[in-house]
């Protein structure tokens, strides 16, 4: 049998870190995962998937990720049940995380944290709950660059820096024998 889940998305809230009576750390969070298509209004929808991670990885996850963090997780799907106060059986389906991966740089993470004080990227929008600046493609790059193909605020490439050996405008002579393929 095979039960593996691999997801890439953004945290919808800060990670909730708790400890069991025996002292084991457990962190729970919700991951917003964009769907690969748009709805009839041209808006991209998202699925909100609950996840849990245990022990030392839970503490690390809670320390490094916060609301809006772009993260990749790998684990297994688990369904459990309990009886609520009124005696009704409730079912919970969640991903039990085995591995996680940072999908944004520290600079991007700190820039996002700085801008979160002025706007809430996950509420009040008409585009599936995401701010277009916070959305990203599956590879972690911003989805919208305001039409600037070079990402530096203009439609022109950035001027070459002095430490770029290929930015001097001089032609580089490479023979076919130098190529690895």
Q: Return the pLDDT at 145.
A: 44
What's the number of domains the chain is made of?
1
Residue 134 domain flag = no
Residues 29/70, Cβ–Cβ less than 8 Å: no
Q: pLDDT band at 79, cuts 50/70/90?
A: very high
Tell me how many degrees the CA angle 61-46-11 measures, rounded to the nearest 5: 15
Residue 164 domain flag = no
Locate 94 and state its tokens. Answer: 């969640």
Name the residue range of residue 16's domain. 5-116
Q: pLDDT band at 163, cuts 50/70/90?
A: low
Residues 92/81, Cβ–Cβ less than 8 Å: yes
Say whether pLDDT at 155 is over 50. no
pTM to 2 decimal places: 0.59
Residue 110 domain flag = yes
Residue 78 domain flag = yes
Residue 141 domain flag = no
| DSSP bridge pairs for 177 | none
Residue 175 domain flag = no
105 CB-near residues (< 8 Å, 6+ apart) = none
Residue 133 domain flag = no
Spell out a b/e string for 141-160, using b for 16 or more CB atoms within 10 Å of the CB, else e. Answer: eeeeeeeeeeeeeeeeeeee
- Chain segment 90-123, per-residue pLDDT in tens: 999 999 999 999 898 878 777 777 766 544 444 3
Q: Please name the helix (run of DSSP H) or strand (run of DSSP E) that holds residue 58, with its range, or none.
A: helix 55-64
CATH number of 86's domain: 2.40.50.140
Report how far residue 152's alpha carbon sits from residue 38's, in angstroms, rounded to the nearest whole number. Answer: 29
Q: pLDDT band at 151, cuts 50/70/90?
A: very low
Report how far residue 122's alpha carbon sits from residue 112's, in angstroms, rounded to the nearest whole number. Answer: 13
Say whether pLDDT at 10 is over 90. yes
Q: Return the pLDDT at 129.
A: 36
Report how far residue 1's alpha carbon sits from residue 48's, in angstroms, rounded to the nearest whole number. Answer: 26
Rg (CA), the chain: 22
Q: Please name the helix (run of DSSP H) or strand (run of DSSP E) that holds residue 110, with its range, or none.
A: helix 106-116
Residue in 161, 144, 131, 146 with CA at minimum distance from that of residue 67: 131
Residue in 52, 44, 48, 36 with CA at minimum distance from that of residue 9: 48
Residue 143 domain flag = no
């Amino acid at each position: 049998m095979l039960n593996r889940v691999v997801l890439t998305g953004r945290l919808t809230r800060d990670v909730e870190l708790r400890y069991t009576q025996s002292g084991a750390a457990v962190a729970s969070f919700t991951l917003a995962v964009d769907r690969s298509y748009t709805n009839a209004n041209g808006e991209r929808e998202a699925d909100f998937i609950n996840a849990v991670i245990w022990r030392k990885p839970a503490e690390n996850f809670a320390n490094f990720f916060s609301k809006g963090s772009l993260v990749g997780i790998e684990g297994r799907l688990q369904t459990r049940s309990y009886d609520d106060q009124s005696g009704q059986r409730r079912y919970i389906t969640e991903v039990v995380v085995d591995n996680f991966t940072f999908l944004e740089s520290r600079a991007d993470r700190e820039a996002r944290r700085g801008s979160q004080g002025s706007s809430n990227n996950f509420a009040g929008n008409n585009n599936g709950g995401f701010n277009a600046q916070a959305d990203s493609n599956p590879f972690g790059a911003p989805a919208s660059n305001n039409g600037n193909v070079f990402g530096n605020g203009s439609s022109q490439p950035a001027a070459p820096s002095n430490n770029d050996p290929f930015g001097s405008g001089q032609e580089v002579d490479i023979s076919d024998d130098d190529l690895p393929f």
